[in-house]
Amino acid sequence: MTRPLARVGLPGASSRNGVTCPYCFASAAPQRIPFRCRGQAGGTLGCAPVLDERLAAYTGSTAGASLPPVFAAAGRKGRADCPACGRPTGNRVCPECHNPLPSAYCDSPGRIVALVGAKNAGKSTYIAVLLHELMNRVGTELDASLVACDDRTIERYKRDFARPLLEERRLLPTTASAATGPREPLVYLLTRTRRGRFARARNDSLALVLFDTAGEDLRSREVTDLHLRYLEAADAIIFLVDPLELPGARGELSRGGEVSRGGDPPSPDPDSEPLNVIARVTEALRQRHGTRPGDPLPVPVAVALTKIDVLRPSLLRQSALHRTRSGTGVLDLDDRDAVDAQVRALLHDWRSGQLDTYLGQQYADHALFGLSALGGVPEAGRVGAGGVRPHRAEDPLLWLLYRFGLLDGVRPGGT
Ligand SMILES: Nc1nc2c(ncn2[C@@H]2O[C@H](COP(=O)(O)OP(=O)(O)O)[C@@H](O)[C@H]2O)c(=O)[nH]1
Ligand SMILES: [Mg+2]
Ligand SMILES: [Zn+2]
Ligand SMILES: [Zn+2]
């Protein structure tokens, strides 16, 4: 059913003592992370830019790779003086690929969230909408900032995600295969300020590393090692499932849902079946964790049914999925349980209970979600008339924040 993955011999990838680079997934001991001179930023007389060959090799282009030099130094409190110009800097970079490593990330490493799903599951749309929600409504609610870690992420988010979908309301083009498409992830740092019991504010950070990769690519030999390393390095997974791909779900579609499929036959490719995609990811994770096949993996997995707007209204009425999330700045655990139970019931009704069973066997902790990134059925390649109106898109991330101790859980029912 699943095919064995080529073993990726990346020294250090399995070590969790160091900082894992969210770009190339190399691991470095915190004291061995080099610095980049601040150069002439802020009108100081620092070093002039030079071509950074490691960064150019990573991005595959010399554009944007002329930067002040990188130097190794022990540093003190995350700062060091450039040996060439003497100016202090706090900018740190990955020793392998020279991409920036934000200091908040170096201080609290080990929280890489990976997003996975078969082709057409709704990944690109979800990335566009989730990031927008985090930068706006949800970010405000959580007292959290979402900051791109590099300029390429800012540009690509605008050009490939936000502008077409959110401004021009066009559906996003199908993601190119990893063999030809962009091989770089979008990298963000989500930082949340929390006030502790003794009123001391503390910032906690999480790296959101989003590869817009088709799950099918994971099977093929031409896929870059990078994608396997990505999965191996993940500390949490958001797994997106298109309910229209589940065998028993078709009867539950509202008419609009059927129209939106455009009469497409279901995908004949067994590699894009949700269970097979998650099984390939599971194998990659096992490589890193070195667990025995019978032992559950410690990585939390959020499994979300996307496009729930296509389900018949009668199915959603009075359901937990249909409600809007309650609570602000906290995770409502009663609501979480209700949604989890409802999605589990749907999976079983749709002859997809195996997916739930498999996850329960393989992972110590998995949670089920239902969401809609668009909030309505698209028509003729465009977002529906009401615009993009996400429903519960942030839920999987809130749960992961809760699991990482960045968000409190409450039971309004009081149990
Ligand atoms: N009804 C509905 N359709 C969606 C939603 N999100 C995505 N889609 C549809 O699913 C298609 C594939 O989405 P996309 O994000 O490109 O999937 P990817 O291949 O996983 O990146 C889109 O073109 C839309 O037609 C949603 O929230 N609701
Ligand atoms: Mg895509
Ligand atoms: Zn790196
Ligand atoms: Zn310098």
Fold of 110-410: Rossmann fold (3.40.50)
Of 62-71, 107-116, 226-235, 290-299, the range with the lowest mean pLDDT is: 107-116
Q: Where in the chain is the domain with CATH 3.40.50.300?
A: 110-410
Ligand 1 contact, 307 CB (< 6 A): yes
Which protein residue's CA is at the shortest distance from atom 1 of ligand 1?
377
* H/E stretch holding 7: none
pLDDT at 297: 93
pLDDT confidence bin for 8, thresholds 50/70/90? very low
Residues 102-125: what's their mean pLDDT? 83
pLDDT at 1: 34
Q: 388 C-alpha vs ligand 1 centroid, how far in Å?
A: 12
Tens digit of pLDDT for each residue in 155-195? 999 999 999 999 999 999 876 655 555 568 899 999 988 77
Let me know: does 356 contact 338? Beta carbons within 8 Å: no
Tens digit of pLDDT for each residue in 15-42? 456 889 989 888 888 888 999 999 988 7
AA letter at 145: S
Q: 147 C-alpha vs ligand 3 centroid, how far in Å?
A: 18
- Maximum distance among all Cα pairs of the chain, rounded to whole angstroms: 69
Task: Tell me the range of 128-137, 209-218, 257-266, 282-291 where mean pLDDT is highest.
Answer: 128-137
pLDDT at 5: 35
Q: How far apart are CA 127 and CA 213, in angstroms?
A: 11
Q: Which residue has the higher pLDDT, 330 or 220?
A: 330
Ligand 1 contact, 320 CB (< 6 A): no
| Residue 171 Cα: closest atom of ligand 1 | 23
| pLDDT-above-70 percentage for the chain | 83
Q: 19 C-alpha vs ligand 3 centroid, how far in Å?
A: 10
Q: Under DSSP, is residue 360 helix (H, G, I), strand (E, B) or coil?
A: helix
pLDDT at 384: 87
Burial class (CB in 10 A: 0-12, 13-18, 19+), 9: exposed
> DSSP letter at 215?
G
pLDDT confidence bin for 220, thresholds 50/70/90? low
Which two tokens mark 3?
């095919």
| Residue 257 Cα: closest atom of ligand 1 | 1
| Residue 373 Cα: closest atom of ligand 1 | 27
Q: 174 C-alpha vs ligand 2 centroid, how far in Å?
A: 5
